[in-house]
């Protein structure tokens, strides 16, 4: 990473400055640098020399970062409470996204869904409970990485999500002649194989993109 402004953005994000504030500051500094280069070239300086002089005038990433760090209003809420944003909220989202299909399923089963389709729909919902924690976990890891936040909270949240997803069980009893059907949700002991496979999937982005590996 040779561009000092990219380096500055990285440093600001790691220091807990909000993504919005850091992006805006760096974008304006980039424009400023380009204006300065144009100005110096207009004065007769060679392009490379103009760029070097402009960067020198802007100062080092440390000098540029300091005024942003001094103002506490630039601090990101996400950086202050990473556990809430990268573990709590994803788990809440998973819980809501897992509960909603069951509610809709129950409503549809009573009103219009043919009894013969009930097991298929139940299987689809059970499958979604396995996909959800992985998808939400990936999103949380990507969001944390974009903000240069530590990955321990999104990974922990995703691991808990995977355990919950694999522990959830949906049982459907199709109505028979003279006997009412039922839809029930319960927590059980998760099966080891799906648990391990899903945990490995959650960790996949960290393996595929080595710079994701900041596990502070």
Partner 1 sequence: MAQSNPHFLNGVPELLVLRLLSDREMYGYELVQAIRDATGDSIVLAEGVVYPMLHGLERDGALQSRRQTVAGRSRVYYSVTPAGSDRFARLAETWRELNRAIGSLLGEPSRV
Reading the block at residue 97, the tokens are 């996204």
User: 36 or 102: whose CB is closer to partner 1?
Assistant: 36
The DSSP bridge partners found for residue 179 are 176
Burial of 23 (0-12, 13-18, 19+ CB in 10 A): middle
CA 159 to each of CA 17, 109, 137, 185: distance values in angstroms, whole numbers, following the listed order: 27, 32, 8, 21
User: 23 or 128: whose CB is closer to partner 1?
Assistant: 23
Report the candidate in 126, 130, 98, 125 with the shortest Cα–Cα distance to residue 198: 130
Q: Using the rule CB under 8 A, which residue among 14, 32, 51, 75 binds partner 1?
A: 32
- Cα gap 165→61, rounded to integer Å: 44
**Residue 202 binds to partner 1 (criterion: CB under 8 A):** no
Q: State which of positions 53-112 bind partner 1 (CB under 8 A).
A: 57-59, 63-68, 70-71, 73-74
Which range of residues in 20-28, 148-156, 161-169, 176-184 is near partner 1 by CB under 8 A? 20-28
- 55 touches 34 (CB < 8 A): no
Total number of residues binding partner 1 (CB under 8 A)?
Answer: 24
Cβ at position 54, least distance to partner 1 in Å: 10
- Cα gap 48→4, rounded to integer Å: 15
Which range of residues in 30-38, 101-109, 151-159, 181-189 is near partner 1 by CB under 8 A? 30-38
Cβ at position 15, least distance to partner 1 in Å: 13
Cβ at position 84, least distance to partner 1 in Å: 23
**Residue 27 binds to partner 1 (criterion: CB under 8 A):** yes
**Residue 115 binds to partner 1 (criterion: CB under 8 A):** no
User: 4 or 88: whose CB is closer to partner 1?
Assistant: 4
**Residue 6 binds to partner 1 (criterion: CB under 8 A):** no
Reading the block at residue 206, the tokens are 């960290």
Cβ at position 24, least distance to partner 1 in Å: 7
- 61 touches 29 (CB < 8 A): no
- 130 touches 194 (CB < 8 A): yes
**Residue 160 binds to partner 1 (criterion: CB under 8 A):** no
Instruction: Mention every residue, 6+ apart, whose C-beta is less than 8 A from residue 131.
Output: none
Residues within the interface to partner 1 (CB under 8 A): 21, 24-25, 27-29, 31-32, 34-36, 57-59, 63-68, 70-71, 73-74
């Amino acid at each position: 990473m040779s561009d000092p402004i990219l380096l500055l953005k990285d440093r600001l994000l790691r220091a807990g400055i909000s993504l919005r504030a850091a992006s805006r500051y760096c974008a304006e500094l980039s424009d400023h640098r380009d204006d300065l280069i144009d100005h110096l070239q207009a004065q007769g300086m060679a392009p490379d020399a103009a760029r070097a002089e402009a960067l020198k005038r802007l100062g080092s990433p440390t000098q540029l970062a300091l005024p942003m760090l001094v103002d506490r209003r630039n601090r990101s809420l996400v950086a202050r409470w990473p556990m809430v944003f990268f573990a709590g909220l994803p788990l809440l989202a998973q819980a809501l996204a897992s509960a909603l299909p069951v509610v809709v399923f129950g409503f549809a089963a009573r009103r219009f869904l043919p009894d013969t389709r009930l097991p298929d729909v139940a299987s689809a919902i059970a499958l979604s409970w396995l996909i959800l924690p992985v998808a939400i976990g990936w999103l949380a890891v990507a969001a944390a990485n974009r903000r240069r936040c530590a990955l321990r909270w999104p990974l922990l949240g995703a691991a808990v999500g995977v355990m919950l997803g694999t522990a959830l069980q949906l049982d459907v009893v199709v109505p028979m002649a003279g006997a009412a059907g039922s839809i029930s949700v319960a927590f059980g002991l998760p099966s080891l194989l799906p648990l391990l496979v899903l945990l490995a999937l959650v960790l996949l982005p960290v393996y595929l993109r080595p710079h994701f590996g900041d596990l502070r």
